[in-house]
Amino acid sequence: MIELTPAELAGIVGGRLFRPDGATIPDVVDGPVVADSRLAEPGSIFFALQGETTHGHEFAASAVASGAVLVVAEAELDLGVPIVVVDDSLAALSTLARSVVATVRSQGRLRVVAVTGSNGKTTTKNMLRAILERVGPVVAPRGSFNNQVGAPLSMLGVDRETRFLVVEMGASAPGEISRLVSIVVPDVAIVLKVGLAHAGGFGSIEETAKAKAELVTELPADAVAVLNADDTRVAAMAGSTRARVVTFGLSESADVRAEDVATTVRGTEFTLVAGQTRTTATLRILGEHNVMNALAALAAVREFGVGFDEAVEALEELARAERWRMELLAAPDGVTVINDAYNASPDSMAAALKTLAEVTRGANRAIAVLGEMAELGEYSDEEHDRIGRLVVRLNIDILVVVGHGARHIHNAAGLEGSWNGESVLVTDADGAYDLLRGELRSGDVVLVKSSNSAGLRLLGDRIAGVS
């Protein structure tokens, strides 16, 4: 973060600086801003936020013990460090992020790119970071810091040397992306896809589309909206933005598109086409859906003056999208594991299964280990059913369904006429591991896919022998 005196920080957030007896007020604070006391380190600033069941006040002492030199809280706390007392810590966090980004931006160096979509945000963010790091200092969130807390915390990582800020903007309810855009209006905004992720919070895919469109509706005319030409709901957002529109996709109408996409267990190759430019790209990341993410990143960085050759070279060096996201693992016994169990929606589950089918193509056994897709609300049974039927239609050899919440995948597979008992329902990850331990053989390709809450990501590591 940029240097601020505690008094300046208090003034920005509309707070009152409280000095407990014996507390030393530092001349300036510029350390990392955290809301999780476990992430506090010497020099950090701790925001005590209200959680679902606990308040950050309960963890402020732990943050100070780990080195936090300033606490933003909703009460006077006697912790031996100065306290900025505010009415609403979350609102103060957003206000501070808005001010810090605006200050750095006023120097004329900082450019901001934001990403939203039902799937692919984190992968696209990592691709953007890999490319832009070749040009200058980049701030981008680690993991999926994309909500009302995580996004402002990520923004507060900028300092006066930062050239690029990459922000993920996720939402579980209408209005959340609008609030993030109000903190930092992007120079370039990417909308990847509208699907049923978090459908339980939105109620329908149409409402999900409205929420994702919040990213582009408030863009100024000198900004750029990078939209998926292959998703009709995303493409329609061109009519609701003042920004210049650039499209990406597989269709010939896209400004930045891919041709000749081919996926093997070694990676994904495609031809990048943009105007008169044609160049071959070979990603180490699997899947046609990740080609779409790459196209979005390539279209965005071109707006910052980054050439396609340099950008493609950076993408080709990217070893994986993120830990537990289409992560390719080679087990000592010759089994290949695609560990994609950090998150799951109907679209991403279908994309991962299609990738599994494509990389095996009858030459190797395809084994799918699937857990629950969370946060689907009333669509849950129907969408799990659809995935079960898709497994059969893709000729996946073995299906292992883990947990009661995913049972409709197993049930639907069994109802398909061509299925002959190749699906097994087990209670938990241990049951899946015990089953597979006696089943797997060299050459098998195993996809492990579920929402994070299903807890299968460590199962993929265990199958591959990764500690």
Annotated binding site for ATP: 117-123
Distance CA 374, CA 452 (A): 8
- Closest C-alpha among 365, 355, 364, 420 to residue 392: 420
User: What token pair was written down for 198?
Assistant: 């978090």
Pick left, alpha or beta for residue 328 (phi over 0 → left; psi -120 to 50 → alpha; otherwise beta): beta
User: What token pair was written down for 206?
Assistant: 């149409």
Contact between 434 and 398 under an 8 Å Cβ cutoff? The reply is no
Q: What is the DSSP string of 233-244?
A: HHHGGGGG-SSE
Q: What is the residue whose two structure tokens read 């015990």? A: 434
Residues 6+ apart with CB under 8 A from 4: 12, 28, 29, 30
> Measured between alpha carbons, how far is residue 33 from residues 69, 177, 302, 320, 345 in Å?
11, 21, 31, 28, 31
Half-sphere exposure of 49 (CA within 13 A, CB side): 20
Contact between 4 and 12 under an 8 Å Cβ cutoff? The reply is yes
Q: What is the DSSP letter of 402?
A: E
Distance CA 236, CA 229 (A): 9
Pick left, alpha or beta for residue 443 (phi over 0 → left; psi -120 to 50 → alpha; otherwise beta): left
> b/e string for 56-75 if b means 16 or more Cβ within 10 A?
bbebbbebbebebbbbbbbe
Beta-carbon neighbour count of residue 374 at 10 Å?
A: 19
Hey, is 22 helix, strand or coil? coil
Hey, is 337 helix, strand or coil? strand
Binding residues: 117-123
Q: What is the residue whose two structure tokens read 């400004």? A: 255
Q: Sheet with 16-18: list strands edge to edge.
A: 16-18, 83-85, 70-73, 45-47, 33-34
Contact between 158 and 183 under an 8 Å Cβ cutoff? The reply is no
